[in-house]
Every structure is written in C-alpha cells, then in structure tokens.
C-alpha cells in the first residue's frame, strides 16, 4: 500500500505538536519536512532547529526534503536533528562527483538518502545514481510553495522510474499538488509515497483525506 507523508509546510506552526499528533491519528505514515533557503527556491521555510524539536515529540519517520543550495554544508545538522531520510536536489549539485559524495556521506551516517528532480529535469539525468539511493522524489510542482496545481509530466517520470526498478531497492515519492485524483494517477504509475500538504492540512477531516489517498 502507498505511504502518505503530509508536509508540515501546510501545518499551523503555532500549534505544531497538535497538528503532528492529528496527522498521526489520521493515519499518516511519514512526516515530510520541507526546507527552503530563499536561494535554491524563491521562498524560505525553516531549518534544522525545528526538526530537532519535532524529533523529540514524535516517533514518526522524518522525511527531510532539502530545497537548498550547497546541501553538503548542512546535512550533518539535519542528521543530528533526527532526520530519518534526507533528500536533496540533483540540480543543487555541481557535478557527478559531488553528488556521489553526498549520497555516500548521508548513507555513512546510517540514515536513508533520496535524490529529487524538479519538473524540468528528466529521469535520464539521475539514472546513474539509481543503484545507490533509497528514494527518488519526483517534483510535480516547481519547488517553493505549497498549494500549487499538479503537473502531469510527473506521471511519465514515475512510470519510467518504476520500470527502472528491476531489482534495485529505491522507492518512488511524488510531491506537489497531490489530492485523491492526482494521487490515484501516481499510484497507477507505480508511486510508493505520496506527499500531501494542503490536501491533508486543509481538509475538514484529515482521516478521510488520508484514506482517500491510500
Ligand atoms: C513544494 C514542497 C511540497 C509542498 C506540497 O516545494 O516540496 O512538499 O509543501 O504542498 P501541496 O501538497 O499543497 O502541493
Ligand atoms: Zn517537499
């Protein structure tokens, strides 16, 4: 069954603990934590200190999505803060050597590593890393903001990644504009994890919203 990872970007930060307890009770599998630096993306969210506080009050799997330039500089802080998985963007890396180094570096700390592609980046560009990563995150919106509309080219990328799995261990996650309808298209294409921000947090009944994604 598909996993659902609500994005805390859409939570009420003044009531964060309450919102985290709520999504857990509603059946969320992971917490998706969107880090934005105002440089790699045109928006700023939060850094590792809030993650540290979150990890103290939840036992949920912490799925950290770094939308930042120079991820190598900051990953250790996110690992120390309790990340279960760190996903970085291939577009933030200078070359193949630094990308491979960062994948290795994160795995060496004993946590999972993911690689993400923006809507304009093709699967071909990350095919060479598929033996080494635990997760590929397909962005179905331009990273930077919650509440945008799903871009359908993500479906073909998910399908392609699914066909490239044969024996490899990575799983596929999709992020941006996910609701019951777009989530179903992604599931049919072979996705393993659905990130959903506004659809879950703005729902009157988050359990119904999460059930409809599963
Ligand atoms: C976008 C973030 C997403 C976003 C998803 O840059 O990576 O995780 O919060 O929000 P919705 O589900 O509202 O599109
Ligand atoms: Zn995200």
For 196-206, what is each residue's pLDDT tens digit? 999 999 999 99
Nearest-Å Rg of the Cα atoms of the chain is 16
With b for 16 or more beta-carbon neighbours within 10 A and e for fewer, the 143-162 pattern comes to bbbbeeebbeebbebbbbbe
Query: What are the residue ranges of helices labelled H in the chain?
Result: 16-25, 48-57, 71-80, 96-108, 153-163, 180-189, 198-201, 206-213
Q: What fold, for 3-213?
A: TIM Barrel (3.20.20)
Reference 192, options 169, 166, 171, 211; nearest CA is 171
Beta bridge partners of 138: 117, 174
What pLDDT is stored for residue 32 in this prediction? 98
**pLDDT under 70 in the chain at which residues?**
none
What pLDDT is stored for residue 153 in this prediction? 98
C-alpha to C-alpha distance for 209 and 87, rounded to whole angstroms: 25
Tell me the three state secondary structure of residue 48.
helix
Q: How far is the CA of 116 from the centre of ligand 1 (A)?
A: 13
What pLDDT is stored for residue 21 in this prediction? 98
Reference 191, options 208, 167, 173, 214; nearest CA is 173
Q: How far is the CA of 34 from the centre of ligand 2 (A)?
A: 5
Catalytic residue among 29, 37, 63, 175: 175
Reference 113, options 124, 123, 101, 122; nearest CA is 101
> ipTM of the predicted structure?
0.98
Reference 130, options 140, 120, 138; nearest CA is 138
Ligand 1 atom with the shortest distance to the CA of 197: 12
Atom 9 (ligand 1): residue with closest C-alpha? Answer: 146
Instruction: Identify whether 63 is a catalytic site residue.
Output: no
Q: Which protein residues have their CB within 5 A of the ion that is ligand 2?
A: 34, 65, 175
Q: For 65-112, how does the pLDDT look when each residue is reduced to its tens digit (9 = 90+)?
A: 999 999 999 999 999 999 999 999 999 999 999 999 999 999 999 999
Q: How far is the CA of 197 from the centre of ligand 2 (A)?
A: 9
Domain ranges across the chain = 3-213
């Amino acid at each position: 069954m598909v996993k659902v990872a609500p994005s805390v970007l859409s939570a009420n930060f003044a009531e964060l603990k309450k919102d985290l307890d709520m999504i857990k009770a509603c059946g969320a599998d992971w917490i998706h934590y969107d880090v934005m630096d105002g440089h790699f993306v045109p928006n700023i969210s939060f850094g590792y200190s809030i993650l540290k506080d979150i990890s103290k009050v939840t036992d949920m799997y912490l799925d950290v999505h770094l939308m930042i330039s120079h991820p190598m500089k900051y990953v250790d802080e996110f690992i120390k803060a309790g990340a279960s998985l760190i996903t970085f963007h291939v577009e933030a890396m200078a070359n193949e050597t630094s990308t491979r180094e960062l994948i290795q570096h994160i795995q060496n700390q004993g946590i999972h590593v993911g690689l993400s592609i923006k809507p304009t980046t093709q699967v071909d560009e990350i095919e060479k890393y598929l033996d080494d990563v635990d997760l590929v995150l397909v962005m179905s919106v331009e990273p930077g903001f919650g509440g945008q509309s799903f871009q359908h080219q993500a479906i073909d990328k998910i399908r392609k990644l699914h066909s490239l799995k044969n024996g490899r261990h990575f799983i596929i996650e999709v992020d941006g504009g996910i609701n019951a309808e777009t989530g179903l298209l992604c599931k049919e294409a072979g996705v393993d994890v659905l990130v959903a921000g506004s659809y879950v947090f703005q729902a009157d009944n988050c359990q119904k919203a999460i059930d409809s994604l599963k």
